[in-house]
Amino acid sequence: MTSKVIYEGNLRVVCEHVKSGSQIVTDAPTDNNGKGERFSPTDLVATALASCMITVMGIKANESGIPFSMVSAEIIKVMAAGPRRITEVKILIEVADKWNEKQRELMENTGRSCPVAKSLHSDLIQNISFVYK
């Protein structure tokens, strides 16, 4: 079993990772009858994409001897109605490590092909940008 999910009431849900016991609590967003005091489930989908990208980039960096210590992401989730769904995830990945052009290409391709990116529906726009400082 990967996880357990328990409804606590008031549109709040506790998600527990079985192996570690760590928890994530979600709320419905304010634009959908919730308090918006925690990540919403759709926030987690958008955030999971960025997290997955950075994780697989870190794995590739370790395998390839590429410096990887100053990487972060900013995420914007775009919702639509009828049916309510995520239509676009905008991710800006900022890299302060010094990478040459070949390393940049390798790392960007690695991030864009992460398991979450490949698992999302093809109608969902993944607008990914990289900025090098």
What is the helix (H) or strand (E) element at residue 13, kind and residue range? strand 12-17
pLDDT digits (tens, 9 = 90+) for 102-128: 999 999 999 999 999 999 999 999 999
Predicted local confidence at residue 62, as pLDDT: 98
Instruction: Give the tens place of pLDDT for each residue, 15-33.
Output: 999 999 999 999 999 999 9
Among the listed residues 107, 113, 115, the one whose alpha carbon sits nearest the alpha carbon of residue 132: 107
All domains of the chain in start order, with CATH: 3-32 (no CATH), 41-132 (3.30.300.20)
* Identity of the residue numbered 131: V
The mean per-residue pLDDT over the stretch 40-53 comes to: 98
In the chain, what percentage of residues exceed pLDDT 90? 99
